Structures are given as structure tokens and as C-alpha cells.
């Protein structure tokens, strides 16, 4: 079958393209921004990419059009597809009906930590010999690819609560029908599509409704929102993590002791930072156990976990100054990321460089929470584009004002880079946080730090 994917260069739709190609389909696709690294990854798979959404792509005559949620009414190609009455389907629905229906699906949902936890879980199954397929919204360093299809019965998927497509406003994850589901946490996010937290809780309960009675829900026991979700109705055994009665970790001098209630499964020794990652690891261990991986095996495997690109990824170090790249863009994620780095950095200064560019951030819903989330940073450099599609609809300098003189806002990246370089000194940790490319600021900082000839 020939499928043509609209919005192919997004992480999720690009992953679907790779999986469809590996399943034997002819795959082509288009997007408004066809550029590396996704374009080169897809072209390496033999997938033809087309720039833009021109209606002339009807001449390709694919058997099926697969629609990403970046596409909306008014898109010229989508309008042509609708006018011709051609067959189309959303990416999540195609995946559910053509790949996941015959698999034991392990889905990882939550406001934070989905990519890291999915990567951990896929690695635990891989190291145990399960050879899982997976589709993850990032690149796990243990695999160096974000998606793959195997002949295994097991498939790990990052289960996003964002809507499916312009014609299907349910969350993506309702299409996945998991047997094992991790509910990592739940906070308000995606203000562009959800009016409040209750609306997101409703979508999470839709997911809970799809998990069979013989399945397993691995749930963060610290989340009041998830507790409310389960109180709406739950028909599946639940294992909690993050509480003493469930899966939890105890810090020891030589590592993290993994406990299940009063039972010790062993000592985890790893270099991954932060309590949030400890919780991610505990959830992955619990989910892997549900499919038959002994926790003792998972602990050994997790000690070899290499994290995910753009999760506290060291981009380089010059003159004793280290530059990190992290995907954090929600205040809670910003807070936990800085706290994790603080444990490693000790008394070294943390220079936080932040681009609040998610849809929720651009709407200003979370701006009041920004100062508190950045409190542990020694200096804060915020960037908000003055114009264009990434421009903020609110005043970043005013939002950061409660931080006083340690924070500054910029609307030009080059000006921001100069300010960071002027402030930086040997031993500093420069933490760059954004869910986008941030104008290549990481490399600009590293280049500017180089000694002048």
C-alpha cells in the first residue's frame, strides 16, 4: 500500500513513517518545514519528502492519506482530499489499527516524563531479550532511533494526551488500547486545546476505560489529579509508585534501593539526575515486571540506561563552562530539571537560559509560575521572539520581574548570547531549556566561549 503522510516531519508522524516503511508500505510525505534532522532521517529510509501542502500532490494517487494534527481546515491539500472524497485517517488511528492491534501495548502517559520513561521501558524490555517495537517522542541514546517495528509481541509507545487530528479531538492515546499503562503524573497543560485540568482528567479517564481487566495500571501515587481520574471508575489492577506502600526508592550511600512496599529488589546505581527520573525508573520497572521482566533484571538494565537526547544532554564544555540542552518547557519540568542539576553542580552557578515557546507558554497561562520554577538558578536569561509565529503574547520581562536583578529578558538571540557570555565564568553550568531549536543557541554559546585567537 502507498500511504502519503501530511505533517511527516513531526517526531510522532516521522515515527509512523518509519514504522510504515518497515512494515512494507510505500511511504511518501509532506510538511511545511522539511529540514534536518528529521528530513535526513526519513530520506535515509528511502522516504520521499515534499515541501509544502500543494494540492498538486493529488497526482501521487496514494491508497491512503494519513493526516497529522498539524493540519487544519484551509490547508490546500487537505481541502482537495476532502473535495475528492479520498480516503484519509489520523496518524494515531492508523497506528492503532495497523500495528498495535496485534501487540501487547505498553503505553506511557503523563504531563511530564513520557519520553524518558518510554525510553527506559523500551530499554528494559530490549535488554531482557523482548526485542520490542517502539514509538517515542525523542531519541533514546540506547537505540539512537525514535521508532522501530519488530516481530516481537511487545510495543512501547509514548502516549500523548494532545488531540488526534482536526477531525478527531480525542487524545491520541485512546487509539492505542494498552494492556500495560503508566500514568506518570497529571497537571494542567496544552491550554490551546484544554480549558482546564478537569478536561484533561476526562481524557485520561478515557484511556483508563480502554485498559483490560487483565492489564495493569502503573500510577503515580503522589498525584491528586490521577487519584480523581481513578475515582471516576477503574476496572484494572493498579500498582502505585512514589509512595511507601507501592514502588519507591530509598537513597543509600551507594545508590537507590528499589522497594515494593516492604520488599527490596536491589540497589540501582546510575548517573541519571533528579528525583523525577527516579520516579520514571520505578514506573518503568513496575511496567516491565507486568510483562515478565524480574525487577532484579530491570535494575541491572537501568544502570546501563543512557538517557535521551535533549534530556540534560551535555552539548559541550569550554574553559570549565558546561552547556546543557534540555526539553523542559512547563514550569514543573523547569523546576525539577534545575533541581536535578543543582544536586550535581553543588555550589557551582547555574545559568538558566529559557525559551518559553510551547503553545501553553505562548498563551501566557503559566507565566505566573515561571519565577518560582527558576528560583534555584543563579542567573536567568529569558528569550521571547519579538514577532513571528513564535512571538509571545505577553511581556517576559514583567513575568520574570519577581526574580529581581538575577533575571533578564531578550528578544534577540545574539543579544542574549552576548549577555550570557559576559556573565559566565569557569565552573558555571549553562542550562538551555526549550522544546524547540532555540535558534541554535547552544552552539552559538559554545562558539562564543572559545578563546579568541
Helix, strand, coil share of the chain (percent; to 5): 35, 25, 40
pLDDT the model gives residue 35: 63
pLDDT of 444 over the 70 cut: yes
Report percent pLDDT > 90 for the chain.
Answer: 63
Q: Of 171-185, 187-201, 382-396, 404-418, which one has max mean pLDDT?
A: 171-185
pLDDT of 114 over the 80 cut: yes
DSSP 8-state code for residue 2 = E
**What residues contact residue 184 under an 8 Å CB cut-off, 6+ apart?**
108, 109, 110, 111, 112, 113, 114, 117, 220, 279, 280, 283
| Bridge partners (DSSP) listed for residue 344 | none
For each of the domains in the chain, give its residue range(s) and CATH number, in order of start: 2-91 (3.40.50.720), 99-302 (3.40.1190.10), 313-449 (3.90.190.20)
pLDDT band for position 385 (50/70/90)? confident
CA-angle at 144, arms to 219 and 446, nearest 5° = 100
State in Å, rounded, how far the first CA of the chain is from the last one.
58
E-strand ranges in 356-396 read: 379-383
Longest dimension (CA), the chain: 67
pLDDT band for position 206 (50/70/90)? very high
pLDDT in tens, 315-354: 888 888 999 998 877 888 888 889 888 888 888 999 999 9
Tell me if 66 sits within 8 A of 98, measured CB to CB. Answer: no
Distance CA 251, CA 211 (A): 33
Higher pLDDT, 142 or 298: 298
For residue 210, CA distances in Å to 58, 105, 118, 182 come to 36, 12, 19, 13
The b/e string for 318-346 (b: 16+ C-beta within 10 A; e otherwise) is: beebbbbbbbbbbbbbbbbbbbbbbeebe
Instruction: Count CB-CB contacts under 10 A for residue 216.
Output: 22
pLDDT the model gives residue 329: 73
Tell me if 216 sits within 8 A of 182, measured CB to CB. Answer: no
Query: What value does the mean pLDDT of the chain take?
Result: 91
Tell me if 41 sits within 8 A of 35, measured CB to CB. Answer: no
pLDDT the model gives residue 447: 85
pLDDT the model gives residue 389: 66
Residue 449 is placed in which grid cell? 566561549
Distance CA 8, CA 17 (A): 7
3-state secondary structure (DSSP) of residue 116: helix
In this predicted structure, which of 67-71, 153-157, 384-388 has the lowest mean pLDDT? 384-388
Distance CA 199, CA 209 (A): 16
Residue whose entry in the numeric block shows the C-alpha cell 502503573: 218
Residue 422 is placed in which grid cell? 559576559
pLDDT of 129 over the 90 cut: yes
Residue whose entry in the numeric block shows the C-alpha cell 531578550: 410
Tell me if 310 sits within 8 A of 441, measured CB to CB. Answer: no
Task: State the alpha helices, DSSP H only, in 404-450.
Answer: 413-423, 441-449
Q: What are phi and psi of 232, to 5 degrees?
A: -70, -15
Residue 264 is placed in which grid cell? 527490596
Tell me if 118 sits within 8 A of 97, measured CB to CB. Answer: no
Task: State the alpha helices, DSSP H only, in 326-428.
Answer: 331-345, 359-362, 370-373, 396-400, 413-423
Q: What are phi and psi of 130, to 5 degrees?
A: -85, -15
User: Does the reported pTM lie above 0.85?
Assistant: no
DSSP state letters, 274-285:
SHHHHHHHHHHH
Residue 190 is placed in which grid cell? 496544552
Report percent pLDDT > 70 for the chain.
Answer: 97
pLDDT of 388 over the 70 cut: no
Q: Of 222-236, 243-257, 265-279, which one has max mean pLDDT?
A: 222-236
Distance CA 101, CA 54 (A): 33
Distance CA 247, CA 244 (A): 7
Among 187, 182, 376, 166, which Cα is nearest to 291's?
Answer: 182
Q: Give 417's Cβ-side CA count (13 Å radius).
A: 16
Higher pLDDT, 288 or 433: 288
Element housing 133 (H / E): strand 133-135
Higher pLDDT, 38 or 442: 442
Distance CA 107, CA 2 (A): 28
pLDDT of 191 over the 90 cut: no
360-388: average pLDDT? 83
pLDDT in tens, 4-26: 999 998 889 999 999 999 999 99
In this predicted structure, which of 36-40, 52-56, 102-106 has the lowest mean pLDDT? 36-40
Amino acid at each position: 500500500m502507498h500511504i502519503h503522510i501530511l505533517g511527516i516531519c513531526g517526531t510522532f508522524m516521522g515515527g509512523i513513517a518509519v514504522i510504515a516503511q518497515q512494515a512494507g508500505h510505500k511511504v511518501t510525505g509532506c510538511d511545511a518545514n522539511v529540514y534536518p534532522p528529521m528530513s535526513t532521517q526519513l530520506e535515509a529510509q528511502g522516504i520521499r519528502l515534499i515541501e509544502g501542502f500543494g494540492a498538486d500532490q493529488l497526482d501521487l494517487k496514494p491508497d491512503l492519506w494519513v493526516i497529522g494534527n498539524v493540519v487544519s481546515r484551509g490547508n490546500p491539500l487537505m481541502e482537495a482530499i476532502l473535495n475528492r472524497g479520498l480516503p484519509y485517517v489520523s496518524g494515531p488511528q492508523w497506528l492503532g489499527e495497523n500495528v498495535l492491534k496485534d501487540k501487547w501495548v505498553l503505553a506511557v502517559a503523563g504531563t511530564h516524563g513520557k519520553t524518558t520513561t518510554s525510553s527506559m521501558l523500551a530499554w528494559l524490555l530490549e535488554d531482557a531479550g523482548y526485542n520490542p517495537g517502539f514509538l517515542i517522542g525523542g531519541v533514546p541514546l540506547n537505540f539512537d532511533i525514535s521508532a522501530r517495528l519488530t516481530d516481537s509481541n511487545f510495543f512501547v509507545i509514548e502516549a500523548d494526551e494532545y488531540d488526534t487530528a482536526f477531525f478527531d479531538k480525542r487524545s491520541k492515546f485512546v487509539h492505542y488500547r494498552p494492556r500495560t499503562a503508566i500514568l506518570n503524573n497529571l497537571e494542567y497543560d496544552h491550554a490551546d486545546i484544554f480549558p482546564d485540568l478537569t478536561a484533561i482528567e476526562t481524557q485520561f479517564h478515557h484511556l483508563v476505560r480502554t485498559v483490560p481487566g487483565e492489564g495493569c495500571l502503573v500510577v503515580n501515587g503522589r498525584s491528586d489529579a490521577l487519584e480523581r481520574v481513578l475515582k471516576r471508575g477503574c476496572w484494572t489492577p493498579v500498582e502505585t509508585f512514589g509512595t511507601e506502600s507501592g514502588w519507591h526508592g530509598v537513597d543509600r550511600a551507594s545508590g537507590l534501593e528499589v522497594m515494593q512496599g516492604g520488599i527490596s529488589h536491589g540497589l540501582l546505581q546510575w548517573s541519571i539526575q533528579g528525583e523525577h527520573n527516579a520516579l520514571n525508573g520505578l514506573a518503568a520497572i513496575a511496567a516491565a515486571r507486568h510483562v515478565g521482566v524480574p525487577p532484579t533484571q530491570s535494575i541491572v538494565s537501568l544502570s546501563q540506561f543512557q538517557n535521551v537526547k535533549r534530556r540534560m544532554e551535555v552539548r559541550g564544555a569550554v574553559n570549565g563552562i558546561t552547556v546543557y540542552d534540555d526539553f523542559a518547557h512547563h514550569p514543573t519540568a523547569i523546576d525539577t530539571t534545575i533541581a536535578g542539576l543543582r544536586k550535581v553542580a553543588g555550589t557551582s552557578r547555574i545559568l538558566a537560559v529559557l525559551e518559553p515557546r510551547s503553545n501553553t507558554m505562548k498563551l501566557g497561562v503559566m507565566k505566573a509560575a515561571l519565577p518560582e520554577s527558576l528560583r534555584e538558578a543563579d542567573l536567568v536569561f529569558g528569550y521571547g521572539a519579538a514577532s513571528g509565529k513564535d512571538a509571545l503574547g505577553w511581556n517576559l520581562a514583567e513575568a520574570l520581574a519577581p526574580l529581581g536583578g538575577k533575571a533578564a529578558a531578550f528578544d534577540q538571540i545574539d543579544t542574549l548570547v552576548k549577555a550570557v557570555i559576559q556573565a559566565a565564568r569557569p565552573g558555571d553550568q549553562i542550562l538551555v531549556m526549550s522544546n524547540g531549536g532555540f535558534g541554535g543557541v547552544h552552539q552559538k554559546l559554545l562558539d562564543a566561549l572559545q578563546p579568541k585567537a
